[in-house]
Structure 1
């Protein structure tokens, strides 16, 4: 069954008129998964800088009532209120004042409001992230803000599909199954922002994985050129479990097991670097990029990013991007 939405529906998900138009043209969609895939392609490859800024401006300032965002749709305002509910519920007067002051500083430095997927975050967590990101260079922060906008868009697309499913499935068993599948897609794509639904009875064993992508992914952005880093070789490795936990000077190459390799595509995204699994094995992981081949005149012949996944995080998704220039690079934990 295909689901069609209007431009105004997608505009409530993301405040870019170009995004809403392209999404409406790309529809109808068979599932939330298809809609999210189209959304990411449109957002990162078709919407220009002005469209990104338009979407940023559609959000209320963090710590500000959504009702004060004049001229925006009621749906968008209501969703913003829900997304900031945890932050507002945990905010004290002093924290709200500090948030307001830092928001002003942030906007003066970068030219747009501080954007973060606030769902489930406390006001203290948001303030700490704001202070941390304020130190970024503008081009790096612009990319992070775009990633955060995409997280919000995915959340809202899930809500859009859920509402459509609830209406369409009334009294219809076939459509109810579609709604259930949409809910499963929603959880698998943005599990970091949603909790799973009711647990299955203990006497039933899941028949297949609910995940739709490997638990570790990456992409490369060439910030010196302002476009994706295409054609870069990428390796993903895991520290062998039978080896002692390494210290700073003990990252022996023989103790790493290669899990997979790929080359980034025209969008800077790597292909699958490992199998799709429900839970990733805890441990140390390393993603290495052949940056010297991509940029022979650069300072870095290759870049390796080592990170640790803990037992409590094994059900989460880890997106570890590389933001690269000839003489600097940075990374962050995405989702």
Structure 2
């Protein structure tokens, strides 16, 4: 049995008009595997950079339902919503806000929407991957995004073949289904096999933290300018000296152990200063800011904020911002 499709069908699978035309010319296909093989050849060998960017722009950003261009079809929009269903179901208001902020940073750096095969992934996992990929060089990230687009395309091709199949003509490999929910579950399994990532993903799922950001975060606001303090070096340390805690005015050496360092971005927010874990170690922490380098004419060569996390607070979040001016500073525990 051969499966024939129109150009609009392939446009729903991948938002590139060039890709859709090439696939329509290659249709019909005897099997899903044949279609996937053709799709890979078209995507990686026959279309150009403009086609990649056009396909990227047809995707809504994670956490949103509106595509970034008019190239998205009603079918692809519906599929995007289904593919993001796990992420949306596991998201909180703060997670969606953080996803939105990081999506904006990503788009500003790379020029296109953050693209990931979101099917079956939690919001926390997607956010962690976004942060992990953000430091990439643009040329490397462009290639990763193209690979993710191909994963999405393969998953949607499976849905396309499923929609063509019926009870009397479907093979044992791609059985017909009675409900949309069952179809989505089955297609997700097929998509996982096609991209050869299901086992790796399953192996990581149990290790994913329920947090969407590290337990200790900070940002800097330059109150003298009324704007974020960008470009300030930040260090997070934990006290691990011989004494349970550093003494007031003490001169202990070697007690502070670096947990992570970063530089504040244009929004005044630091990068990740420690791992994303469900329970942070109780103890004394110190966040230090290189304010002398940021404001050479100011009064403070650096600012350090020392605080304690108790055993009963290990699962809480600690946002410790710095409100800074050349001759004063303050802080508070935020959320």
Provide the TM-score with structure 2 as the length reference: 0.52
Segments of structure 2 that go 5 or more residues without pairing to the other structure are: 177-185, 200-335
Aligned-partner Cα distance in 1 for 2:16–2:193: 26
Compute the displacement of 1:65 (Å).
1.9
- Residue 10, structure 1, aligned to residue 10, structure 2: yes
The answer as to 2:111 corresponding to 1:106 is no
**Equivalences for residues 243-282 of structure 1 within 5 A:** none
Query: What is the CA–CA distance in structure 1 between the aligned matches of 2:125 and 2:52, rounded to whole Å?
Result: 25
Match of 2:42 in 1: 42
Query: Is the contact between residue 66 and residue 80 of structure 1 (CA under 8 Å) also seen in structure 2?
Result: no
Paired residues of 2:57 and 2:68 also in contact (CA < 8 A): no
Kindly state the Cα deviation for residue 190 of structure 1 after the two structures are TM-superposed.
3.8
- Residues 11 and 17, structure 1, Cα contact 8 Å, conserved in 2: yes
Question: How far off is 1:51 after superposition?
Answer: 0.2
Cα 1:154–1:21, aligned 2, differ >3 Å: closer, same or farther? same
Q: From 182, 188, 194, give the equivalent of 1:189.
A: 194
Which sections of structure 1, spanning at least 5 residues, go unmatched? 195-335
1:120-173 C-alpha deviation (Å, 9 max, x unpaired): 11111111100110000000000000000000000000000011113xx4xx3x
Structure 1 68/187 Cα, relative in aligned 2: closer, same or farther at 3 Å? closer
Structure 2: how far apart are the matches of 1:69 and 1:193?
Answer: 30
Inter-partner Cα distance in structure 2 for 1:81 and 1:148: 17
Q: How does 1:37-186 map onto structure 2 within 5 Å?
A: 37-66=37-66, 72-166=72-166, 169=167, 172=168, 175-177=170-172, 179-180=174-175
Distance in 1 separating the partners of 2:132 and 2:165: 39
* 3-state SS of 1:124 partner: helix
RMSD: 2.5
Q: Deviations over 1:171-201 (max 9, x none)?
A: x3x545574499897664246459xxxxxxx
- Determine the C-alpha separation between the residues in 1 that align with 2:74 and 2:101: 27
Contact 2:58 2:68 in 1 (8 A): no
CA gap of 1:153–1:124, structure 2 versus 1, over 3 A, is same
The answer on 1:20 being equivalent to 2:37 is: no
Number of residue pairs matched by the alignment = 189
Larger Rg: 2
TM-score w.r.t. length of structure 1: 0.52
Q: 1:177 to 1:20 in 2, by over 3 A?
A: same
CA contact (8 A) 1:83 1:118 kept: yes
